[in-house]
Structure 1
């Protein structure tokens, strides 16, 4: 995860509406990967802990994202996540 992605995940998971120990979960969905704010992973999820934020990856998503870097940006209040090959 990039520093920007960590900041965006922190912003999403540390709001008053978010569960107390919230993290971001990525899992396969109808239109590709779905992201959701959750109160924890499910058994079998891989966990990425970066600077105090957690991202939970469903096993199939984890295999798809191996060797990728999660990045994010915010434009006009809209959050966008994207994947990039890690910097070498």
Structure 2
């Protein structure tokens, strides 16, 4: 929460768990698993790093912090709540 007491929309899940309002963004744990799979291909000599395509996280997560919504007086539409991967109470 910033000094202006404004809700914050962020780019990754852990920040929502730590008071930000919402994200449709990356989950560093899942990104680490994806990176590990890429490293395994290199270690098993199935791919060479210079020939591998750049990857982004395959699945983004919609995470909503309901405490932050209440604190800022924000009503989260039901369609977002229904679609959320995680709701932080």
TM-score normalised by structure 2 residue count: 0.28
The structure having more radius of gyration, on CA atoms, is 2
Q: Which has the higher helix share?
A: 2
The normalised TM-score by structure 1 is 0.29
